[in-house]
Amino acid sequence: MLYPQEFDVIVVGGGHAGTEAALAAARMGCKTLLLSHNIETLGQMSCNPSIGGIGKGHLVKEVDALGGAMALATDEGGIQFRILNSSKGPAVRATRAQADRILYKAAIRRMLENQPNLWLFQQAVDDLMVEGDRVVGAVTQVGIRFRSRTVVLTAGTFLDGKIHVGLQNYAAGRAGDPPAVSLSARLKELKLPQGRLKTGTPPRLDGRTIDFSQCTEQPGDGVPGGMNPEGGVPVFSFMGNAGMHPQQVPCWITHTNERTHEIIRSGFDRSPMFTGKIEGVGPRYCPSVEDKINRFADKDSHQIFLEPEGLTTNEYYPNGISTSLPFDIQYDLVRSMKGLENCHILRPGYAIEYDYFDPRALKNSFETRQINGLFFAGQINGTTGYEEAAAQGLFAGINAALQCRGETAWTPARDQAYLGVLVDDLVTQGVTEPYRMFTSRAEFRLQLREDNADVRLTEAGRQMGLVDDARWDAFSRKRDAVSRETERLKSTWVNPRNLPAEESVRVLGKAIEHEHNLFDLLRRPNVSYQALMSLDEGRMASADVSRETLGELSATVIEQVEIAAKYSGYIDRQKGEVERAAFYEHLRLPESLDYMQVSALSIEARQKLAKHRPETLGQASRISGITPASVSLLLIHLKKGG
């Protein structure tokens, strides 16, 4: 049957990428259809019930700044929040939350069901409708044909998915869900370049059988016993507040020991990884426990976090023992740890192998180069992680919608967003293992902080139609308050004549010799905003904007003013670097350029450029094997009019 309605955007897959893609396209006014295997699993966390962390939290804040769902759903479902690296610089501080997976999923589903322009439909997609070099729709398992102008494919770990537990294996998309076999075959037929990757998950534990008295409690932040108990529980979304959080609960810590490691080693001969049953490459930064014991043989213990899966379940996620060893080994290894001696396993751990598609075959917009209108996002592009998937989904949803509106694609630059880094890394370098975000991937990370994601992206989001009035008003108020307070500090002067030495030492650490404005004083490493505000107003030359007219400033406004002052030197230097790099970064390479004829380049460089066809000189410079010398030669060739 041909479905009577036509859509602008069809999103296939309702995981973290698909839900953000569908919401974004619909927010931008496109008639959008989300087709997924099962409406009950929309927004499901396949693995650990946690959102954020270093690099990942940055992506969540960016998704949020563009009006996305992940941060708000985490605020509604988060049962423990922490700020990681809180004692380090603001660039690497990151929010992480433990989520109640049921509450999280419910929040995502509610947002989807209430989004204007968005239709949901439960069916497996088995085929794509392609006419010439353009996708024109999708066909479901029972033969319903949905026509659309664009399709965003976000099939996660489902394409030809195969689960391994020991030497046993079976076809599945993840535990309890079917694989997408027909769709995988169709994509192979379309000759889109692909490969196999794998990822794994630990066994889940019944909390009633854990002896928590033998484990170390790890409370979240902002609660008694946790970090910063007075500061309140952290919040993820710009539009969120701690009042949205449900009850907060602790995590627990136990450890592996020599006995655990012996048990794990005794299963190596039945490990699908070590016996070659699994061909896909796994994430190096998220290794299975057998991989850790094998690679770091000298370590006699590893920390294992016992993370609650929710408020209405006894299930615990033991973070650190992801494994595909046979179940008898899983059973023994779990019971070898302190506090877990009598533990009941609710679900076995497993590894899953699946198809991914080489993201170098995507344009900067995530549209496939081969088939117009077909976009890929999420795990299908070789990444791992909910946050990486959500950011890509939002991005692909935006670009599918822009294409439907006849507008040019939007790609944030590497100095504008982690999203820009993610997209650029994927399309220029591809992946050799599941890709996850780290702050170290961003060369301009001083500018790419969690705390300024709104400043970097909300305006762009508003222009594209992603940001609603409530968010825009809140953002504008904050932006104006930061700028007014910064101006006030810059135009408020303190003169040593009016400031007794003891007062100066109390607030500034030492006496000042000449007049300073408050902003300059705030740049000093040991001077806090609060300390400056404790200066008696009578000691200062009057400012254009008095403190009274500003009213009570929020903590986030003060944080921005303080960061701008403390890091202004570094940030200005980095801005200079960005500007210098920008010319080359954005210099577009002609589509007609025949690299094989650029004789100054080595044959290897010519072949690589011809294969990847970078869109800008900046992208060319990041292709592996393209040296700075090759980039200079290419530039000379372009200047000569080549």
Residues that bind ligand FAD (CB under 6 A): 12-18, 35-37, 41, 46-47, 124-125, 154-158, 173-174, 177, 180, 183, 199-201, 286, 352, 378-379, 384-386, 389
Could you give the CA distance from residue 240 to residue 110 in angstroms, rounded to a whole number? 16
Minimum CB distance to ligand FAD, residue 359 (Å): 13
For residue 147, what is the enclosing H or E element? strand 145-153
The torsion defined by the Cα of 154, 160, 161 and 165, in degrees rounded to 10, comes to -170
15 annotated as ligand-binding: yes
56 annotated as ligand-binding: no
Residue with smaller CB distance to ligand FAD, 357 or 386: 386
Minimum CB distance to ligand FAD, residue 565 (Å): 36
404 annotated as ligand-binding: no
Minimum CB distance to ligand FAD, residue 208 (Å): 24
Minimum CB distance to ligand FAD, residue 252 (Å): 19
Minimum CB distance to ligand FAD, residue 234 (Å): 20
Minimum CB distance to ligand FAD, residue 140 (Å): 8
Q: φ, ψ for residue 305 (rounded to 5)? A: -95, 130
> The tokens of 338 are what?
């302190």
282 annotated as ligand-binding: yes
Q: Which residues pair with 253 in a beta bridge?
A: 216, 305
Minimum CB distance to ligand FAD, residue 121 (Å): 9
292 annotated as ligand-binding: yes
Minimum CB distance to ligand FAD, residue 163 (Å): 8
Residue with smaller CB distance to ligand FAD, 22 or 543: 22
Strands (E), 382-499: 493-494
267 annotated as ligand-binding: no
Residue with smaller CB distance to ligand FAD, 381 or 504: 381
Residue with smaller CB distance to ligand FAD, 397 or 614: 397
Q: What is the DSSP annotation of 303-357?
A: EEEEEE--SS--EEEEET----S-HHHHHHHHHTSTT-TTPPEEE--EEEEEEEE
Strands (E), 539-625: 540-541
- Name every residue whose Cβ is closer than 8 Å to that of residue 263 and which is 6 or more positions away in sequence: 329, 332, 333, 336
Could you give the CA distance from residue 431 to residue 425 in angstroms, rounded to a whole number? 9
Cα dist from 625 to 61, 251, 320, 600, whole Å: 33, 45, 35, 16
Residue with smaller CB distance to ligand FAD, 1 or 470: 1
296 annotated as ligand-binding: yes
Minimum CB distance to ligand FAD, residue 248 (Å): 23
Residue with smaller CB distance to ligand FAD, 3 or 493: 3
Could you give the CA distance from residue 316 to residue 246 in angstroms, rounded to a whole number? 18
78 annotated as ligand-binding: no
For the chain, the farthest-separated pair of C-alpha atoms sits apart, in whole angstroms, at: 86
Burial class (CB in 10 A: 0-12, 13-18, 19+), 513: exposed
Residue with smaller CB distance to ligand FAD, 109 or 488: 109
295 annotated as ligand-binding: yes
280 annotated as ligand-binding: no
Sheet of 303-308: strands edge to edge? Answer: 216-218, 251-255, 303-308, 315-319, 204-206, 345-347
Could you give the CA distance from residue 95 to residue 335 in angstroms, rounded to a whole number? 32
Could you give the CA distance from residue 300 to residue 413 in angstroms, rounded to a whole number? 44
284 annotated as ligand-binding: yes
Minimum CB distance to ligand FAD, residue 384 (Å): 5
Contact (CB, 8 A) for 149 and 107: no
Residue with smaller CB distance to ligand FAD, 199 or 504: 199
Residue with smaller CB distance to ligand FAD, 106 or 578: 106
Residue with smaller CB distance to ligand FAD, 187 or 293: 187
293 annotated as ligand-binding: yes
Could you give the CA distance from residue 378 to residue 173 in angstroms, rounded to a whole number? 14
Could you give the CA distance from residue 440 to residue 492 in angstroms, rounded to a whole number? 38
Contact (CB, 8 A) for 151 and 61: no
Residues of the binding site: 13-18, 282-296
Binding site for FAD: which residues? 13-18
- Binding residues for NAD(+), as ranges, are 282-296
